[in-house]
Amino acid sequence: MKFKAIPLVAVAASMILLTGCTQAAAPEEPAAAAPVVSENDFALPDSKPAGFKDGLKIALVRQSGVGDYFEQWGGGFTKQVKAAGGTVELFDARGDNGKQVTQFTDAINSKPDAIVVDHGLADSLNPKIDEAIEAGIPVVVYDVAIANEKALYISQDDESLAGKILDQIKTDNADGGNIAYVNVSGIAPLDTRDGVYKTFLTDNPTFKEVAHFGKYSESAAADTATEGAAALSSAPDTTIVFAAYDELAKGALIALRQNNMLDKVNVYGVDVSTADIGLMTEAGSPWRATAATDPANVGAIVARAAVAAGAGVDMPSKMAIPAALITQQLLRDKNVTNMDELRVALPELSTPGILGASWIPEITIG
């Protein structure tokens, strides 16, 4: 399906929900448990599990927002569940954290074969995850920091995402530069990306942070633009913008336009959508590169995990999905205008081998 590219001047209308650091223990407290290691080589059994059946019911408890990222994620998820003969019962809180908790209770009471949590706030969701597991319902979580290792936590490889884009920043700006950093704290994937960024600054002293902004809200792009306009006016020597999430990058682009800085700054982001591709490829765009996974492919992976968990497969505690670097030059050279065309240009975005099995039909992404 093709989407119309969104011009930069219209980005302020784009709204997406953001969601989802272990402190050192005090000397008198027991040492913190070792972090769970991603088992990216985990494979599903070759033969169909005894618990696999047609009509597996998967409850999807999510916090989605406006934009094609969430649409594509949900599309890949639902398509994969249906291909495996299952059904999806959707609970979407749309930015209301209290509603998500209530819906999670409804999902548990519906007695599904598995529950998937897609985005949300860890503090409110962790007790419900515990409750579901205590009720004997397998739980698969995407991009919410969780404490219960009996649930499977799936995320993008956020260290790889940040590392790839920061490496590109270093390549494109060999002499260093002044960075306006766009990120928010308290959200699991963005906190991980923040750690990689801080290490980058330490290891590369020719790069200096001169501004830091970013707004956590349902209308992240518009609210970040408001903060960014003020921050950038106080940092006119900015030469680089690093935004840890694509909605934050959109907000930064609006702020750069308001400060007449579009031709002076290179912008780098994380994540991709059809709207992002339009912004990166339009004439005069300073958005040089992004690092991303394919949201529809990610949704399909999470769906396969849920189907397997619902069929009784003993799943690992953590898995991470590898990322790809997407440059403005690649998009322009290959005339990429939407996600379907990007999948053709970068086939590594599709990963049917991750949690693939003969008893879960492979789907076409897109």
> By CB neighbour count within 10 A (0-12 exposed, 13-18 middle, 19+ buried), where does 341 fall?
middle
- Report pLDDT digits (tens) over 117-171: 998 888 999 999 999 999 999 999 998 888 899 999 999 999 999 999 999 999 9
- How are strands ordered across the β-sheet holding 318-321? 87-92, 57-62, 114-118, 139-142, 152-156, 318-321
* Reported pTM: 0.83
Predicted confidence pLDDT, tens digits, the chain (366 residues): 222 333 454 444 433 333 333 223 333 333 333 456 889 999 999 999 999 999 999 999 998 866 677 889 999 999 999 999 999 999 999 888 899 999 999 999 999 999 999 988 889 999 999 999 999 999 999 988 888 999 999 999 999 999 999 999 999 999 999 999 999 998 878 999 999 999 999 999 999 999 999 997 778 899 999 999 999 999 999 999 999 999 999 999 999 999 999 999 999 999 999 999 999 999 999 999 999 999 999 999 999 999 999 999 999 999 999 999 999 999 999 999 999 999 999 999 999 999 999 999 999 987
> By CB neighbour count within 10 A (0-12 exposed, 13-18 middle, 19+ buried), where does 295 fall?
buried
pLDDT value for 116: 98
DSSP labels, 198-220:
HHHHHH-TTEEEEEEE---SSBH
Strands 139-142 and 152-156: parallel
Q: Where are the alpha helices (DSSP H) in the chain?
A: 68-83, 97-109, 122-134, 158-172, 188-203, 220-233, 246-258, 274-281, 295-310, 328-333, 339-345
Q: Are 6 and 253 spatial neighbours (Cβ–Cβ below 8 Å)?
A: no
